[in-house]
Amino acid sequence: MDPSNGLNRSLDIVPTTEEKMKDRGQWSNKLEFVLSVAGEIIGLGNVWRFPYLCYKNGGGAFFIPYLIFLATCGIPVFFLETALGQYTSEGGITCWRKISPLFEGVGYATQVIVALLNVYYIIVLAWGIFYLAFSFSSSLPWSSCNNTWNTAFCVLPLLTYISVCICVFRRRVLRISSGIDEIGELHWDMALCLLLAWILCYFCIWKGVKSTGKVVYFTATFPYVMLIILLIRGITLPGASRGIQFYLYPDLGRLADPQVWMDAGTQIFFSYAICLGCLTALGSYNKYNNNCYKDCLALCFLNSGTSFVAGFAIFSILGFMSFEQNVPISEVAESGPGLAFIAYPRAVSMMPFSPLWACFFFIMIVLLGLDSQFVCVESLVTAIVDMYPSTFRRKNRRELLILAVAIVSFLFGLIMLTEGGMYVFQLFDYYAASGMCLLFVAIFETVCIAWIYGADRFYDNIEDMIGYRPGPYIKYCWLFLTPATCFGTFAFSLIKYTPLKYNNEYVYPWWGYALGWLLALSSMVCIPLWIIYKMGTAKGTLREVRPTEHNSNMQAHISVL
């Protein structure tokens, strides 16, 4: 069928006018792009998840599966999404529409995940702001039992029954109920912290890349200053070597456990922010000839390097705790919120000038979470604006859209600040943006680019942008290694699925698990449903997309026939 016979719908992939880029905006320079991506991918997971996974899964041996997943999935998909955004100059939905209308559902899936992520991820910022406010006191509240929220079981030293830090987190911050069916009252002080977090997020991105590009100079760099300070302080503490040994000592026998490989794969997807549309959105504001290949390689090494260094900072402190309390490292090692809001505060309370170190730590936590949060919001807004440019590229319309997204997300997030809110938060964290969802999306992303659009064709597009073709390894990853690895890991995650238990104790009611699976499926079903819809409504025959014309602007036509 001739693409020029009027039966095909043709779309220009690359903008051919300066007006479009002027309307969308561009990064003022490469550094703004690099810092924005760094701020997005280097987040809380680098500090509170990666070090614990190393300790849990064989220490230094964990780097073997981690690096394998990085090479076969992390870097290839990271580069794919960034290059796709730069080449199409479109957000997370319309970029897939232009590549292959049949796979537009991939874009919808990523934005559903991001929309859910925007609701619950910022809750951690609210907790961080709350703890940061506590840190500006001469005596940290979690260093004594002289608080109204402490129980009779709060004793010093912090070894018997419930520690002071657990009291603060569970009884002062969460004020947690006995189950998800007891939602209880809203904590208004925490709601104010959440409101402050959303205000900060809004003003970081309200002017698009003009404001985001300037904010990241601080939000993406200052956490490194804090991390270095905490690292230097940590390794000089007594017992630090004990913690570092547990962090790095290799136990090669753990590699026989499939769960170790599963943890490595999901950590790559979490920490590299792939399959969220964020990289596509950020890349879409690049100049067309920016060398995104070198940028991606540098950012990937920076991200993994930061995770590695953060492990030293965290486990040197945990080693100090183990030494001071004369207990095994396993009794003080925590992951996720437990590390940030229980274990680490308990550690700094044992140091001289503890409020100072607490301030440093929670400033780092807030900034790490803030730039990850506002980039996710920017990703969603960019996708919507690019879908309806005539509506939102008018005076103040984009700012109002960001405000609407912030208000709606804030209101939905309030349920997580009730007495039963932590149970809802855990459902979102376990199901909504789970490794299973991200792996599912990654399979279709690579299949679409490598097999439907064409890996060689996309390499031609990349060559047109950066002036040369990257080595063939990434192309073969897109074709074979990445989809196969993602599919295998996805299948394993289904086979080994275990229902969520809060704190490894609380079992959710059946409708709680149903809600969790609804959150997970809400993104995944977008892809097959869109394919069915498109096949049912397309006129003529369905044929693989192919380039029909190459010119100086690298224009191509994408068709559903």
Rounded Cα gap, residues 329 and 332, in angstroms: 5
Rounded Cα gap, residues 168 and 191, in angstroms: 17
Rounded Cα gap, residues 257 and 295, in angstroms: 35
User: Is residue 398 a contact partner of residue 490, using CB atoms and an 8 Å limit?
Assistant: no
Is 371 annotated in some ligand binding site? Answer: yes
Rounded Cα gap, residues 273 and 41, in angstroms: 6
Cα pseudo-dihedral 158, 318, 341, 511, rounded to 10: -100
Peptide bond into 141 cis (omega under 30): no
Is 303 annotated in some ligand binding site? Answer: yes
Residue 292, C-beta contacts closer than 8 angstroms, at least 6 positions apart: 79, 82, 83, 86, 283, 286, 465, 466
- Chain position carrying tokens 């394919």: 531
Distances (CA, A) of 539 to 12, 303, 488, 534, 557: 20, 46, 35, 9, 17
Is 289 annotated in some ligand binding site? Answer: no
Short-list 460, 466, 457, CA closest to 292: 466
Residue 214, C-beta contacts closer than 8 angstroms, at least 6 positions apart: 32
State the burial class of residue 159 (Cβ atoms within 10 Å of its Cβ: 0-12, 13-18, 19+).
exposed
Rounded Cα gap, residues 170 and 165, in angstroms: 8
User: Is residue 458 a contact partner of residue 449, using CB atoms and an 8 Å limit?
Assistant: yes
Rounded Cα gap, residues 403 and 341, in angstroms: 30
Q: Give me the helices (H) in 414-454, please.
A: 421-427, 435-447
Residue 518, C-beta contacts closer than 8 angstroms, at least 6 positions apart: none
Distances (CA, A) of 166 to 120, 345, 346, 544: 21, 10, 9, 57
| CA angle in degrees (0–180, nearest 5) for 345-63-58 | 70
SS (H, E, C) 300-364: HHHHHHHHHHHHHHHHHHHHHHHHHHCCCHHHCCCCCHHHHHHHHHHHHCCCCCHHHHHHHHHHH
Is 370 annotated in some ligand binding site? Answer: no
Is 230 annotated in some ligand binding site? Answer: no
Strand-strand pairing, 501-502 and 506-507? antiparallel
- Which residues belong to the annotated binding site? 39, 46, 271, 303, 368, 371-372
- Which residues belong to the annotated binding site for Na(+)? 39, 46, 271, 303, 368, 371-372
